[in-house]
Structure 1
Amino acid sequence: MKILIIGSGGREYAIALRLKEDKNVSNLYFAPGNGATSALGENLDLKTFEELANFAKDNKIDLTIVGPEDPLTKGIVDVFKSKGLVIFGPSKAAARLEGSKAYMKEFLARNAIRTARFLNSDNFEEISKFIHTLDEKVVVKADGLCAGKGVIIAQNHDEARDAAWEMLKGSFGDAGKTVVVEEYLDGFELSFFAICDGDNFVSLPVAQDHKRLLNRDQGPNTGGMGAYAPSPLADEALIKRVENEIVAPTLRGMKKDGNPFCGVLFVGLMIVGGVPYVLEYNVRFGDPECEVLMPLIDGNLSQILYDAATGKLTDIKLRDKFAVGVVSASENYPYKSTPKTKINLGKIPANAHICYAGVSEENGEIYADGGRVLVSVGVANNIREARNLAYELVKNIEFEGSQHRSDIAYQALRD
């Protein structure tokens, strides 16, 4: 099987690394890939969806997998399908679940799926009135995609009004033309993933991401500083509730609207008193959650994703293991860019591996390019062993200015 992977981050590297285990996979291509993916396959310098689809057709690509949300929300799947190509991911219309927070909230309300009380509006006076009906903390979101930066948790009503005003004035460009204001939910977050074929779905291990830059969830929000799975915070009863009360109604609602959902449905959950609420939908694997989910999937991943993309999804097996991933980020992340610096590797422990993200390659050497550079992943029979392996690997990776959190999976281990 020849497979094309769209994207350039740690998520795409993790998918490729897992696909290398499949005996039926002969060739991997990346568009554009990063400095380390070239060791797993071939990086392509193709820009437009048409160019990518034509490459897939001319080179008899059996399956294309889309990693990031941006090409999905812009319609890459529609272009590929118009040429009779098999591609794993939702259509442009279905990807609105992530592309528009206002659409997502309206979809939840229309399908009676539990979420925080909210208002979608472009009218500041209306927004102000709604803010004053909420408790002191308020969540303010720009409607469109903002690379993970369009969500503000205001500590009081004045902050919330200021945030909404700035968004409406254009601080997030067109993404903030409509603002979503929500009540603040006090609980803990989980990441729930389901592989879907339009009608059916299979659930993956429940993960927990660590968004804040610093230990104990302090500091600014980031793209994610680490993750682990499966989380003991999600017992069997909670998983069933999410499947029955959120995922199944989502697929039914999307199909009813004429936009059947095929691909990865990523539900960002807030658990309040044991009850799951939808914070957000994403329409692709999370990053860094993908890096800890891939080692837990058993069997032939390429066939699983191909079957989902062609509407023939069947059950999948999971490995009875735990995975912990620790992000090593550049010195100035997430505030500003950091100069390129060489990565020096020591010994890689057994049952641990690296997923490269923000890196380039020069003369056979890997360089940190800034941002989230790589993820150290440990896989073991329990969370503590997996975390120890991940941190042992972190200690053996050096690049100037490297930073990481030292408490990934602390909620599961209570330490």
Structure 2
Amino acid sequence: MNILIVGNGAREYAIGRKLREENIVNKIFFAPGNAATSNLGENLDIEKHEDLAEFVKRYDVDLTIVGPEAPLSDGIVDVFEKYNLAIFGPSKAAARLEGSKAFMKDFLKKQGIKTARYLNSNNLEEISKFIDSLGQIVVVKADGLCAGKGVIIAQNHDEAKEAAKEMLSGTSFGEAGKTVVIEEFLDGFELSLFAICDGENFVTLPVAQDHKRLLDDDKGPNTGGMGAYAPSPLASKELIKKVEKDVVEPTLKGMKKDGNPFCGVLFVGLMVVDNEPYVLEFNVRFGDPECEVIMPLIDGNLSQMLYNAATKKLENINLKDKFAVGVVISSKNYPYKSSEPALIKVKEVPADTHICYGGVSQKNGEIYATGGRVLVCVGVGDSIKEARDKAYELCKNIEFDGMHYRKDIAYQALR
């Protein structure tokens, strides 16, 4: 198989790395990829969806895998399907489950799927009244895509109203914040469940747990994710079955009924309160950094699984009886502002560990840290503790100026 991966982050690197291990994969192309993906395949300087579709036809690419949310919300799948090209991801209409938080919340309500009490609005007076009806802590979300940063957990009503005001004015998130979603705060623990879907059927992958806050003990600002582990012992078999039955199944049925069947990865962001799962959000692609810890746990050909899903012939999947922990190493000023490029030095890559590169560039054959989340150190083991210890052993072998990482990834599972 020849495969095209759309995207340029550590998630796309992780997918490419997994595919590189498979005997049935011939060529891998990345559009655009990053400085490190060029070691796994060929990077393409092609941006337009139509031009990518033309490349796929010309070079006999069997499957296209879309990593980030933006091209999905922009309709890349619709363009490829127009030419009968196999592509793994949802249509533009189905991608609204992530592209619009207001659409997602209304869909959940329509399908009877549990979620936090909420209000979608662009009217500040209406928003203020609803905030006053909630508890002290309030969740304020920008409706549109914000690269994982459009959620503010306000500690009091005044803070929530100010956050909503800044979003509506366009100060915080531009057009993405012109409608806001106000939610009651749910107090429980978070989980990330991924379902591979072909429009009607689905299979679930190991349940992961992300760490959004910048600093240890879940302090500091929200980020795109500072680390993850899978599978999570917090997700019992009973809980997983409940999510499959009460969330994934009605979502697929509802989307099909509305004329927008969902094909691709359905990422279900959950808050579990008293063993009851509530949907916080949907994403319509592999999460990052969850993808980096899920890929090493897949036993068999990822390429065949995703091709089967893209062609509406989904089959079951085998998983390894292992655990994986990923620790994100970010640049000095993340998530506040960009940082100066810094040379990355890797002393050693210990057994059962590997690096997934994200925000990097290349100069004179050497890799430099240039992005916010630069790379992910992944460890695999027979237990979460073993996997975590290996991941941190790899972290100690990485050096670049200003590097930062949390020291407590997977603490929920080990305390």
> Shorter chain as normaliser: what TM range?
over 0.9
State the distance in 2 between where 1:408 and 1:160 align.
Answer: 29
State the distance in 1 between where 2:78 and 2:388 align.
Answer: 40
Provide the residue aligned with 1:79 in structure 2. 79
| 1:96-131 Cα deviation digits (max 9, x unpaired) | 000000000000000000000011111111111111
State the distance in 1 between where 2:26 and 2:370 align.
Answer: 30
Write out aligned runs for 1:186-201 (5 A): 186-201=187-202
State the distance in 2 between where 1:78 and 1:287 align.
Answer: 24
Provide the residue aligned with 1:315 in structure 2. 316
Write out aligned runs for 1:129-144 (5 A): 129-144=129-144
Provide the residue aligned with 2:167 in structure 1. 167
Provide the residue aligned with 2:94 in structure 1. 94
- What is the identity, as a one-letter code, of the residue corresponding to 2:137? K
State the distance in 2 between where 1:106 and 1:122 align.
Answer: 15
| 1:336-370 Cα deviation digits (max 9, x unpaired) | 11111111111111110000001112222111113
- What is the identity, as a one-letter code, of the residue corresponding to 1:47? E
Provide the residue aligned with 1:400 in structure 2. 401
| 1:166-203 Cα deviation digits (max 9, x unpaired) | 11111222111211111000111111100000000000
State the distance in 2 between where 1:169 and 1:39 align.
Answer: 44
- What is the identity, as a one-letter code, of the residue corresponding to 1:138? V
Counterpart of 1:292 in 2: which secondary structure? Answer: helix
Provide the residue aligned with 2:103 in structure 1. 103
Counterpart of 1:47 in 2: which secondary structure? Answer: coil
Counterpart of 1:405 in 2: which secondary structure? Answer: coil
1:140–1:151: 8 Å Cα contact kept in structure 2? yes
- What is the identity, as a one-letter code, of the residue corresponding to 1:52? L
Counterpart of 2:195 in 1: which secondary structure? Answer: strand
State the distance in 2 between where 1:297 and 1:376 align.
Answer: 18
Provide the residue aligned with 1:299 in structure 2. 300
| 1:1-34 Cα deviation digits (max 9, x unpaired) | 0000000000000000000111110000000000
Provide the residue aligned with 1:362 in structure 2. 363
Q: 1:158, CA displacement in angstroms?
A: 1.3
Provide the residue aligned with 1:115 in structure 2. 115
2:4–2:65: 8 Å Cα contact kept in structure 1? yes
Q: Which segments of 5 or more consecutive residues in structure 2 lack a partner in the other structure? A: none
Matched, 1:177 2:178: yes
The number of equivalent residue pairs is 414
Provide the residue aligned with 2:154 in structure 1. 154
Q: Which segments of 5 or more consecutive residues in structure 1 lack a partner in the other structure? A: none
Counterpart of 2:318 in 1: which secondary structure? Answer: coil
- What is the identity, as a one-letter code, of the residue corresponding to 1:42? E
1:291–1:325: 8 Å Cα contact kept in structure 2? yes
Counterpart of 2:114 in 1: which secondary structure? Answer: coil
After TM superposition, the score normalised by the length of structure 1 is 0.99
Provide the residue aligned with 1:226 in structure 2. 227
Counterpart of 2:354 in 1: which secondary structure? Answer: strand
- What is the identity, as a one-letter code, of the residue corresponding to 2:28? L
- What is the identity, as a one-letter code, of the residue corresponding to 2:80? F
1:339–1:370: 8 Å Cα contact kept in structure 2? no
State the distance in 2 between where 1:168 and 1:258 align.
Answer: 31
- What is the identity, as a one-letter code, of the residue corresponding to 1:333? Y
Provide the residue aligned with 1:238 in structure 2. 239
Spell out structure 1 runs of 4+ moving beyond 6 A: none
Q: 1:270, CA displacement in angstroms?
A: 0.3
Counterpart of 2:387 in 1: which secondary structure? Answer: helix
- What is the identity, as a one-letter code, of the residue corresponding to 2:355? I
Write out aligned runs for 1:323-362 (5 A): 323-362=324-363
Q: 1:95, CA displacement in angstroms?
A: 0.1
1:266–1:286: 8 Å Cα contact kept in structure 2? yes
State the distance in 2 between where 1:132 and 1:112 align.
Answer: 25
State the distance in 2 between where 1:370 and 1:236 align.
Answer: 38
Counterpart of 1:102 in 2: which secondary structure? Answer: helix
- What is the identity, as a one-letter code, of the residue corresponding to 2:405? H
| 1:368-403 Cα deviation digits (max 9, x unpaired) | 113111000000100000001000000001111111
- What is the identity, as a one-letter code, of the residue corresponding to 2:380? V
Provide the residue aligned with 1:21 in structure 2. 21
Provide the residue aligned with 1:30 in structure 2. 30
State the distance in 1 between where 2:360 and 2:17 align.
Answer: 16
1:188–1:272: 8 Å Cα contact kept in structure 2? yes
- What is the identity, as a one-letter code, of the residue corresponding to 1:364? G
Provide the residue aligned with 1:276 in structure 2. 277
State the distance in 2 between where 1:100 and 1:378 align.
Answer: 34
State the distance in 2 between where 1:341 and 1:133 align.
Answer: 49
2:358–2:371: 8 Å Cα contact kept in structure 1? no
Matched, 1:45 2:45: yes
